[in-house]
Amino acid sequence: MKLNKSEKFSGVQGPLLTIVMDGVGLTAPGNGNAVEAAYTPTLDMLMSKYPMVKLKAHGTAVGLPSDDDMGNSEVGHNALGSGQVFAQGALLVSNSISSGKMFESDTWKDAVKNVKDNGSTMHFLGLFSDGNVHSNIEHLRSMVERAKADGVKKVRIHALLDGRDVGETTALDYIEPFEQFLAGLRDESFDCLIASGGGRMKITMDRYEADWSMVERGWHTHVLGDARMFGSAAEAVNTLREETHAIDQDLDPFVIAKDGAPVGTVEDGDTVIFYNFRGDRSLEISRSFEEGDSFDKFDRVRAPKVYYAGMLEYDGDLHIPSHYLVNPPEISNTLGEYLTDTGICQLAISETQKYGHVTYFWNGNKSGKFSEELEDYIEIPSDVIPFDQRPWMKCAEITDKLIEMLKSGKYKYLRCNYPNGDMVGHTGNYEATIISVEALDLQLARILPVIDELHGAIIITADHGNADEMYEIDKKTKAPKLSASGTPKAKTSHTLNAVPCIIYDNFTSDRYTVKADGAYGLSNVAATTVNLLGYEAPDMWDDSIIELK
């Protein structure tokens, strides 16, 4: 898989760096555009003086079902790192359900057989929305219906409230129709209830081992039934909102009880299906169920013997989980693999919150390195506090280490993710997100002179939008939606906006031209990268955005 040297261009003299400004999209001023509102002299200079094209970072351009689907960090980094567009989780699952293939799989059949043989319960646990980033509630509906058709007698739903990939206070918009759906299925032979829940940033859905206490709270809630009790999910949401004023993603855990006892603890002999299709926030809860006596991340109190399955295989190298319903996308011929086979030394760096994005997702959902000798991965530990309380996050520390590594002379290609725009953008705090973008701009100002000193170049881009649209927009009026108090309603989800791709090169830019804005997406960056390194792009990759002279 070695790359062929270009006959036209020997490549940049120094190192080539890719910077992913996570969550920094492009749109018109106003409507909560924290990127435009921030003081960003460096980014402004880059966009005005250096070649820039707009990249599509959502929908079909990153393998999602339709262009109404917002991009996300997983599919964005898959596309950046592979140079191709692969059908992604949401589309794979939807196709598998519509074709019936999921329900003909050995995993589904074994999951059903387990509860029928044991007279036990089938549990569905996952993100309870149609955000289509981590899960889709329509997939859950289909599985519950099929469970009844296949003779399952008892189903329990453990609902992780969203408020991040969908509106920040929309939980009841999903709970109330779903309760009606369950009521329509419920009869003397089929017992189906919502059993527990809580905000996705409060319980269960930690990632990259940033805060195992989230998973521990989720375990106590879903498995042990050890959380505050309510008569219904709607009662829980209404009460907790009134008491805490938290948005959905931050609501405290709860269990549904009848006659003073939880209605849906997880017991020996049960089946548990984690129905999220995205991997990063699915791994830790999967390990909690699957790892035996060696598990040491928290005291599980009891670990019931269950048949556990994920929607997909969340880690193809570690094979987590052991059972899954839909085969994940088989991403091959990635940038990292080609570079290592060509003998090019690489560095990947970010803080914990996005470390897996420039490693695992970038490498096609593979957790290991392609070469221990040629690759170094650096993780800067993230703070375990709400991101809007420290919106600069670890961007300065990332830059400190990145500059050190650049000056070491060891690496020809480096990639870096700054999480600020995305992670702070998800809080819905407009003012904090402005600060996060300004903090990022300071880091760009530190890096440019180092790259110039080394006669290198930078590709500056993003994986999707977020900070560029911090208010919910009314599609008819194009103005911000207002809350009950008359203030703009915060938007915590990603956007459908394009992202920038800037090429900063003060030494060899005369050797190529940047093509005019076209139908480019994130997958066009890989070919651009190898061209700038002095190589021809593999035929299966999408076209480069530069043309060599």
Q: Which residue has the tokens 């190192």?
A: 15
Q: Which residue has the tokens 């103005």?
A: 479
- 8 Å CB contact between 530 and 335: yes
Neighbours of 59 (CB within 10 A): 18
Distances (CA, A) of 56 to 5, 80, 303, 373: 29, 12, 45, 34
Neighbours of 215 (CB within 10 A): 24
Local confidence band at 422 (pLDDT 50, 70, 90 cut-offs): very high
Whole-number pLDDT of residue 156: 98
- Above pLDDT 90, what percent of the chain? 86
- Report whether pLDDT(391) > 80: yes
Whole-number pLDDT of residue 270: 98
- Report whether pLDDT(336) > 70: yes
Q: Which two tokens stand for residue 1?
A: 């898989």
Whole-number pLDDT of residue 31: 84
Q: What is the mean pLDDT of residues 520-526?
A: 98
- Report whether pLDDT(518) > 80: no
- Report whether pLDDT(200) > 70: yes
Whole-number pLDDT of residue 534: 98
- Report whether pLDDT(475) > 80: no
* pLDDT digit string, tens, across residues 18-38: 999 999 999 999 889 999 999
- Report whether pLDDT(506) > 80: yes
Nearest to 53 by CA among 520, 536, 547, 544: 520
* pLDDT digit string, tens, across residues 423-459: 999 999 999 999 999 999 999 999 999 999 999 999 9
Q: In 39-190, where do the E strands start and end?
A: 52-55, 122-127, 154-161
Alpha carbons 174 and 159: distance in angstroms, whole number: 10
Whole-number pLDDT of residue 293: 92
Whole-number pLDDT of residue 484: 76
* pLDDT digit string, tens, across residues 132-159: 989 999 999 999 999 999 999 999 999 9
Q: What is the mean pLDDT of residues 378-387?
A: 95
When mean pLDDT is compared across 108-122, 365-379, 466-480, 529-543, the lowest value belongs to 466-480
Whole-number pLDDT of residue 269: 98
Whole-number pLDDT of residue 317: 58
Local confidence band at 71 (pLDDT 50, 70, 90 cut-offs): confident
* pLDDT digit string, tens, across residues 292-324: 999 999 999 999 999 999 999 887 657 899 999
Whole-number pLDDT of residue 207: 86
Q: In 279-400, where do the E strands start and end?
A: 307-312, 324-326, 346-351, 375-380
Whole-number pLDDT of residue 11: 97
**356-366 core/surface letters (b: 16 or more CB in 10 A; e: else):** bbbbbbbbbbb
Q: What is the mean pLDDT of residues 48-62?
A: 95
Whole-number pLDDT of residue 55: 97
Whole-number pLDDT of residue 70: 84
Neighbours of 117 (CB within 10 A): 9
Catalytic residue numbers read 73
For the chain, the average pLDDT equals 95
Whole-number pLDDT of residue 316: 64
How many residues can be counted in the chain? 549
